[in-house]
Copies of this chain bind each other. A is one copy, B any other.
Amino acid sequence: MSDGTKADDIALALEEAIVSGEIPPGSTLRQEHLSEQFDVSRTPVREALRRLAALGLVSFEPNRGVRVRMLSRDEIREAFMVRAELESLATEIAALKMTDDDLAELERAERRFSVATQALVEMSHDGRQDLEVARDWLHLNHSFHDVIYRAADVPLIERMAKAARRTFLVKPVWATGADLDELYLKNDRQHRAIRDAIVARSPEGARVLAREHVLSSGRLLEAILDKVSAQLREPAVR
């Protein structure tokens, strides 16, 4: 166990499991099951669940259990609007504060993301479906923005934006395809544009680009969701 209290460790682990989709949305979490899974008593498990509930990841139904929240399309849209506002704000601030070291870091993050995007698109062309590649892509995507947050030094904004980032799930919603490839590539181009605006010390430009970027990511996710739900309807099992 990494740090201090078990409740925190469990909360972190559960958060990861929920966000990654390992625990599917809508499922109910049995306290006893979790307690033996983590090899602790139910007490710290309950505390961890309270924390997740406060973050909005799960919901307590008194005397009936906790359920992993399932977000509606509207809520996902809202989450992206929140992110758009907060990330654009952070980017504007970062553009004013960036040191040369930060810029170098941003450059590296952008390049790694670019490589991941290429890998993703190539995979799509080959018709393969590697979840690990997709996960890497998302992770490096976040890393790019994290560099910006670090440079902006706005812990509260960062905390809230990441809370919004967490509100949607990844693993069950993934797809590739020619139509999506264009959106992935666009995402990459937007990162470069943001980097350029920051390099050019243009806070307003960076802000507008960041805002548009997040909103466009939201549209990408919606496109993925559409595709997935279409696939789910298509093969009429049973």
Contact = CB atoms under 8 A, between A and B. Distances in A.
A63 B6 CA distance: 12
Nearest to A153: B74
Nearest to A43: B43
A142 interface: no
Contacts of A4: 60, 62-63
18 contacts: A3-B62, A4-B63, A8-B60, A46-B47, A50-B54, A51-B54, A54-B54, A54-B55, A79-B156, A81-B89, A81-B154, A82-B89, A82-B160, A85-B85, A85-B86, A156-B164, A156-B167, A160-B160
Interface in A45-65: 46-48, 50-56, 60, 62-63
Residue among A85, A86, A156 with max Cβ neighbours from chain B (10 Å): A156
A101 to B, nearest CB: 22
Copies of the chain in the assembly: 2
A75 interface: yes
A111 to B, nearest CB: 30
Contacts of A55: 54
Contact of A156 (B63, B78, B86): B78
Given A51-B54, A160-B163, 19 more contacts: A4-B60, A4-B62, A5-B60, A5-B62, A47-B50, A51-B53, A75-B155, A78-B154, A79-B156, A81-B89, A81-B154, A82-B160, A85-B85, A85-B86, A85-B89, A156-B164, A156-B167, A160-B160, A160-B164
A12 to B, nearest CB: 12
A193 to B, nearest CB: 21
A180 interface: no
Given A47-B46, A47-B50, A54-B55, A86 B78 contact: no
Contacts of A8: 60
A159 interface: yes
